[in-house]
Structure 1
Amino acid sequence: MTDFQRLSVSAIADAVNGGASAVEVARAALDVVAAYDEIQPQAWILRLPAEAVLAQARVVEARIAAGEALPLAGVPFAVKDNIDVAGWPTSAACPAFAYVPERSATVVERLVAAGAVLVGKTNLDQFATGLVGVRSPYGAPLCVFDQAYVSGGSSSGSAVAVAAGLVAFSLGTDTAGSGRVPAAFNHLIGLKPSKGRWSTRGLVPACRSLDCISVFAADLEGAALVDEVLTGFDPEDDYSRRAPEDPLRPSGPPPLEAEDLHGAPADGCSPSGGPVAERLRESFRFGVPKPDQRLFLGDHQSAALYAAAIARLTTAGGTPVEIDIAPLFDCAKLLYSGPWVAERTAAVETLLRDTPGAIHPTVRAIVQGGLAVTGVETFKGFHALEAHRRAAEAIWDAVDVMLLPTAPTIYRLKAVQAEPIALNANLGLYTNFVNLLDMSALAVPAGFRENGTGFGVTLIGPAFADRALLALAERYLETFPMADMPPLDLTPKKPGVKLAVVGAHLAGMPLHWQLTSREARLVSATRTAPTYKLYAMAETTPPKPALIHVGEGGAAILVEVYELDFEAFGSFVAEVPAPLAIGTVTLEDGTLVKGFVAEPRALNGATDITELGGWRAYIASLAA
């Protein structure tokens, strides 16, 4: 049985730089990924073919043989599927939105240049809209310690991939807490850098003015190494920021020395990070909510774990100071109840207008709200934010950092499915305001509930205090031992049947509900083998295609492959009307799956649309 051990970024990089085989590291990662597919395949949207992963590792070995020292040599990593990787689809968990970028995001380019090896792209709440991880047609990644509970989102797959030991680190994104909430639930480090510290070029925006790319790692040293590689001004990113203390400096902080995590390094990039770091070297003040603002929504275990975290940081040399965080709560309301929801709408406006059914129902309900936001309301929101920022500035006069719960509680998957909006909002109680108020944040573990799920706290500082937070977190974690990590929940996935759909059952099409109502999970958006023809059948309601196997002279047709459990598959097949039927379809990689086929009479009066390559293109042509 595979031993799903968490991986160390620094240990792998040191070993490969010292002569260990990057190819063997990559092979081991591929083996673990394959094994975990029997448990949570829904962590991924795209896994690179083994040869593509091994080819990267060979390049790393060649560079090291040529005398290079690479900070992330041979380290396997994953990226959230709203971040571009050249030559591979970016979907943001919406197949109808997917495109293939010619160039990777800046952060991916920098990681590969540093020697990291990309394994795949991970699942997420569609368009990074959610803190629960369940708003995806690819399925819901679940807490690695108890699969009855959500993993947190929107960077759900990225957190699971690190927590299960599939990769050493992963990139997420964080607009409202998406890089911190999953870290808490899965006992990880979640670094949300200051806005503009890392480039967001090549990121599908959620709220472009607020978005940050983030990192999940098993330990602080791994997160710090990634930060060292990714920090730096990017002239191709309109939202990239130079260090305010030194506006002419083109890059980020000096390299992290080994001793920097023991004591607090001055952050040369920071308007307050240097002084903050100096104050944190010995004694320091950390803000905690007033007792009546410590909200855990009835989760008494979370409340106790937070109290223990306060005691831990006090032992590390801090003095807790009670502060009024009501202004922070008020500011957080702007994100979804104010004009910033319109910024989410702007990111998906074309899809929302042309193919609204392709958007997850809960996500669609949120982004549709942005259509009604007026210019007047937008400016009122800007003015309110400035007032909240002034109130937040006063906090830094009273304390050096804040220590807040990352999330007040955790929810079961079934509870979130039953109440998707309200429970999701609860999870953002302590996270939604951070980017609005231009703060840096670092989520760290703080123990486990009795059910094994993780609880975490977040160290929050002014913008560009990132390195000081990493240093303080090291002191926090070293103060005294934390409870042992519980075993992973390795309950295997339910067996099912893979079904290729080609027409009216595609995401956003009229009959897609027949899949979603059966909790079908999207496995992949792919093509058939080049041996098929596609026809638009005559006089069908709604319009439907016929997929015909012809052998030579055929073409590869776009399909979506879903997985249903046996009972759901059986009930689905029972509803398929003649002249269509369910048979076996060959995909472009040679895999055989169940799929729609057609009787000869389906071609009576039908139109050959093979040259269009798929049903979506045909439907689009009708509207042209």
Structure 2
Amino acid sequence: MLPTILDLTSLRAAYEAGKSPLDIIEIVIARRAASTDPAIFITPTPEEILRAEARALTERAPEPNSLPLWGIPFAVKDNIDVAGLPTTAACPAFSYQPQKDATVVARLRAAGAIVIGKTNLDQFATGLNGTRSPYGAPRSVFDKNYVSGGSSSGSAVAVASGLASFALGTDTAGSGRVPAAFNNLVGIKPTPGLVPNVGVVPACRSVDVVTVFAPTVGDGVAIRKVMEGYDAADPFSRKAVPANLPASGLRIGVLEGAEREFFGNRQVEALYDAAIERARALGATIVPFDYTPFRQAAELLYNGPWVAERLAAVKEFLATNSDDFDPTVRAIIEGARAYDAVDAFEGRYRLEALRQKTRSKWEKVDFLMLPTSPTTYTVEEMQADPIVKNSHFGRYTNFANLLDCAAIAIPAGFDASGHLPAGVMLVGPAFTDDAMAPFADAMHRAAETGMGKDRKAALPEASRVILPADDFVPIVVVGAHLTDMPLNHELTRVGGYRLRAARTDDSYRLFALNGTVPPKPGLVRDPDFSGNGVEVEVWALPPAAFAHFVQNIPAPLGVGKITLNDGTCVTGFLCEGHAVAGGREITEFGGWRNYIRAVSPAA
């Protein structure tokens, strides 16, 4: 029998034990039908389509767990395109039928994941509470009287109630984090630009981020790594430059003085204080800091010209369909008409001035630990005062994208009565996404909150996140071991995970080897060659797994030092020169993945 929460470890174990994706889909269908919250989904994937997707997956990849997310069911916030399902952004009159998946959905599906439905949201992703939708208000899995958090409300509830292994949300002001806190989940908010937004209905295009709700930090990071990567079709997409943090002796910034605002909720304040003590017990140095410039930056998102981006996203539709908007959403978006181009520049100047003020704070800490939300409210309380109460939720979240930060929201425990959960966030400078993850995972485990609505669930050891720098060994992979490729499972099965995408320096040539199954390339260094480099990935393996892996590499492949275009040298796959004689040179494609796509467009 499957556990209540469908974490990756449990599902992979079920598959290894003989369950099929169709078996899991039948369980999801049954759970979805039995759900007591009718507002989770806007468009559930029809049952027959789900069954067909499961069958197609086993035809495409018959071996269990042979893809990174083989047979993993997930839900998608309904402002993110999924081919075959309408995108509504929680506004029926706005609905359209996308012809293709959003980039992130396409990457997840290629990795073997199965979309179980489109989830409810605050209309046009405008809100942090989950009550601004004509499709109803999804509720906290712990008390139906309380909000679920928004705007990614349905996505969080789908995971927390055991309907999906993970779900996609979006985050402009905190929408990928607040619902995680209210439903005892992890919320992964990547650095802006790390994950592409192509195929996403924007809220504020310049600061929107696609996020992940997951039961554990390890699951969330693994899923984010499948989604991330530069996409030239997204004007705000960026190539990551991973930032490092110390392996020990972390300095964590915490709130002090008048900036500690919980709007009278002493229960959440107590849980925040308890989280600080857990961080201290885990070896962190606690550094009180002045939150003022961060708060002032946060205020710009709704009380500054950035609200005009919300109008830019829907201005044509608003001009003809204003009556189709939720009244609160319409009031917020129409408020953008008060701003002009001068205001936009002045807002930018103000933000950059505040960014300068935050630099001195970052010099003293490695990352911040903040309450995810300082309080929560019932649906009735929220609807009675929707603007003010909603703003309370964003006090500590709104600045993160404006100031180019990564964040991971984690559970922090339940109130004294054991009734409602609260959470904390780790927030770091750009591209500290991976560097923060081990401490976030340790904090989640120390809190002993379970996962989602299952408060007794033990976090799987297999999902533990550790720093590769501690004892993992990096290795460069070139072909069949890349993410989404046929042999990638040989890395993931032994606890390896991807550190980053990379490129060799310009002295490497790539060839398609003859007679290899599955097809493999050969990477050869030619000191006299000058190209544009070859796309590769750097993975990290446990030492024993690395030794076993290297020992079993078949000739003519072997390992040696590969020079990357940033000047670093990493052990990786190389090929004996004689083996490429007569083989097809494919250097012009820039990498193995591009070559496979060219020769097998459906791959």
Q: TM-score w.r.t. structure 2 length?
A: 0.73
Q: Given residue 16 of structure 1, which amino acid in structure 2 is its aligned partner?
A: Y
**Is residue 411 from structure 1 mapped to residue 377 from structure 2 by the alignment?**
yes
Identify if the C-alpha distance between structure 1 residues 216 and 67 changes in structure 2 by more than 3 Å, giving closer, same or farther. Answer: closer
Per-residue deviation at 1:485? 7.5
Write the mapping of 1:434-449 to structure 2, written as runs, cut at 5 A. 434-449=400-415
Do the aligned residues in 1 keep the contact of 2:184 with 2:453 (CA within 8 Å)?
no
CA offsets 1:536-563 (integer angstroms, 9 cap, x no match): xxxxxxxxxxxxxxxxxxxxxxxxxxxx
* 2:140 aligned counterpart, secondary structure: coil
**Is residue 325 from structure 1 mapped to residue 291 from structure 2 by the alignment?**
yes
**Is residue 469 from structure 1 mapped to residue 436 from structure 2 by the alignment?**
yes
* 2:297 aligned counterpart, secondary structure: helix
**Is residue 299 from structure 1 mapped to residue 265 from structure 2 by the alignment?**
yes
Q: Specify every segment of 5 or more residues in structure 2 that has no aligned partner in the other structure, as ranges.
A: 456-603
Identify if the C-alpha distance between structure 1 residues 294 and 100 changes in structure 2 by more than 3 Å, giving closer, same or farther. Answer: same
Partner residue in 1 for 2:6: 7
* 1:304 aligned counterpart, secondary structure: helix
Q: Given residue 404 of structure 1, which amino acid in structure 2 is its aligned partner?
A: L
Identity %: 48
* 1:119 aligned counterpart, secondary structure: strand
* 1:425 aligned counterpart, secondary structure: helix
**Is residue 285 from structure 1 mapped to residue 282 from structure 2 by the alignment?**
no
**Is residue 453 from structure 1 mapped to residue 428 from structure 2 by the alignment?**
no
Q: Given residue 184 of structure 2, which amino acid in structure 1 is its aligned partner?
A: H
Per-residue deviation at 1:355? 1.3
Q: Given residue 320 of structure 2, which amino acid in structure 1 is its aligned partner?
A: D
Per-residue deviation at 1:447? 0.4
Identify if the C-alpha distance between structure 1 residues 354 and 410 changes in structure 2 by more than 3 Å, giving closer, same or farther. Answer: same
Largest Rg, 1 or 2: 1
Per-residue deviation at 1:138? 0.1
**Is residue 363 from structure 1 mapped to residue 362 from structure 2 by the alignment?**
no
- How many residue pairs were aligned? 454
Do the aligned residues in 1 keep the contact of 2:139 with 2:157 (CA within 8 Å)?
yes
Do the aligned residues in 2 keep the contact of 1:199 with 1:233 (CA within 8 Å)?
yes
Write the mapping of 1:598-609 to structure 2, written as runs, cut at 5 A. none
Partner residue in 2 for 1:61: 58
Partner residue in 2 for 1:577: none
* 2:400 aligned counterpart, secondary structure: coil
Q: Given residue 30 of structure 2, which amino acid in structure 1 is its aligned partner?
A: D
**Is residue 40 from structure 1 mapped to residue 37 from structure 2 by the alignment?**
yes
Q: 2:186 aligns with which of 173, 189, 197?
A: 189
Partner residue in 2 for 1:119: 116
Q: Specify every segment of 5 or more residues in structure 1 that has no aligned partner in the other structure, as ranges.
A: 244-268, 489-624
Query: Distance in 1 between the 2:263 and 2:177 partners?
Result: 19
Identify if the C-alpha distance between structure 1 residues 483 and 228 changes in structure 2 by more than 3 Å, giving closer, same or farther. Answer: closer
Q: 1:218 aligns with which of 215, 218, 232?
A: 215
Write the mapping of 1:508-519 to structure 2, written as runs, cut at 5 A. none
Partner residue in 1 for 2:487: none
Structural RMSD (CA): 1.8
Query: Distance in 2 between the 1:385 and 1:487 partners?
Result: 41
Query: Distance in 2 between the 1:349 and 1:169 partners?
Result: 32
* 1:348 aligned counterpart, secondary structure: helix
Q: Given residue 109 of structure 2, which amino acid in structure 1 is its aligned partner?
A: V
Write the mapping of 1:245-284 to structure 2, written as runs, cut at 5 A. 269-270=241-242, 273-274=243-244, 276=245, 279=246, 281-284=247-250
Per-residue deviation at 1:391? 1.5
Q: 2:344 aligns with which of 375, 378, 389?
A: 378
**Is residue 142 from structure 1 mapped to residue 143 from structure 2 by the alignment?**
no
Per-residue deviation at 1:291? 2.8
Q: 2:85 aligns with which of 84, 88, 92?
A: 88
Identify if the C-alpha distance between structure 1 residues 404 and 68 changes in structure 2 by more than 3 Å, giving closer, same or farther. Answer: closer
Query: Distance in 2 between the 1:354 and 1:155 partners?
Result: 26
Per-residue deviation at 1:63? 2.5
Q: Given residue 118 of structure 1, which amino acid in structure 2 is its aligned partner?
A: V
CA offsets 1:573-607 (integer angstroms, 9 cap, x no match): xxxxxxxxxxxxxxxxxxxxxxxxxxxxxxxxxxx
Q: Given residue 284 of structure 1, which amino acid in structure 2 is its aligned partner?
A: L
Partner residue in 2 for 1:23: 22
Query: Distance in 2 between the 1:159 and 1:422 partners?
Result: 23
* 2:267 aligned counterpart, secondary structure: helix
* 1:240 aligned counterpart, secondary structure: coil
Per-residue deviation at 1:476? 1.7
Do the aligned residues in 1 keep the contact of 2:190 with 2:209 (CA within 8 Å)?
yes
Q: TM-score w.r.t. structure 1 length?
A: 0.71
Do the aligned residues in 1 keep the contact of 2:29 with 2:47 (CA within 8 Å)?
yes
Q: Given residue 302 of structure 1, which amino acid in structure 2 is its aligned partner?
A: V
